[in-house]
């Protein structure tokens, strides 16, 4: 298979939330061949599988961060995808997913250490002056409380439970599966073929050969 065909099939996988085996992919010559294959995979109702969720999530990541689709795997490190500006990109990812209940970035160990150490430094004069222990304790707790509030939303560390792409699949909303008719599937595949190959839809029919008629490599 050439690059055109690979890109076309990947777009079909994302659209219908299925995986196309390489052995099966090598047999596709026309949009109708792909439609028959897809119909056999999506004609039954069911819950949103993790595979379908991954394809939908990958599409969002590729569009949002201009990533190479081929390099996005379930175990891909989110830190590498988000790059250096993790805080901004984490919020951008949340917005792209369209959800409100999204985990916040955590404070790293240096920042957490500062939350405890800085109040101790501030109250050190009280300790040196042998102030009452009750006063020292109250001041420390108050400063600790304030530091915790001030630093709560400035975390830049991805939670351990959300280190890779697959951990975000539960946040991808999958609509209830619908039984798709064959004519709907072939229509959409022709549209995808048009998008991927840059050929007008009216120049493609279900019997068009990808190589001989449409010039795909």
What is the mean pLDDT of each successive set of 10 residues along the chain, which is 217 residues long? 82 82 88 90 56 83 87 90 90 89 86 90 91 92 91 84 88 61 88 91 92 87
- The confidence score (pLDDT) of residue 180 equals 67
CA-to-CA distance for 29 and 36, rounded, in angstroms? 12
Domain boundaries defined on the chain: 1-46+177-217, 109-154
CA-to-CA distance for 41 and 212, rounded, in angstroms? 27
């Amino acid at each position: 298979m050439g690059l055109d065909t690979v890109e076309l099939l990947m777009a079909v996988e994302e659209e219908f939330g299925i995986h196309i085996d390489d052995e099966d992919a090598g047999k596709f010559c026309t949009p109708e061949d792909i439609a028959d294959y897809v119909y056999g995979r999506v004609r039954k109702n069911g819950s949103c599988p993790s595979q379908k969720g991954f394809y939908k999530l990958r599409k969002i990541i590729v569009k949002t961060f201009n990533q190479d689709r081929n390099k996005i795997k379930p175990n891909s490190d989110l830190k590498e995808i988000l790059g250096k500006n993790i805080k901004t990109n984490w919020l951008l990812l949340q917005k792209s997913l369209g959800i409100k209940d999204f985990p916040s970035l955590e404070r790293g160990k240096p920042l957490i250490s500062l939350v405890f150490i800085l109040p101790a430094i501030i109250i050190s004069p009280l300790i040196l002056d042998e102030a009452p222990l009750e006063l020292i304790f109250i001041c420390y707790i108050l400063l600790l409380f304030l530091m915790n509030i001030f630093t709560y939303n400035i975390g830049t560390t991805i939670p351990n439970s959300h280190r890779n792409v697959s951990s975000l699949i539960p946040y991808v909303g999958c609509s209830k599966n619908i039984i798709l008719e064959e004519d709907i599937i072939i229509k959409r595949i022709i549209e995808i073929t048009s998008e991927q190959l840059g050929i007008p839809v009216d120049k493609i029919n279900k019997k068009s050969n990808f190589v001989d008629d449409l010039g795909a490599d």
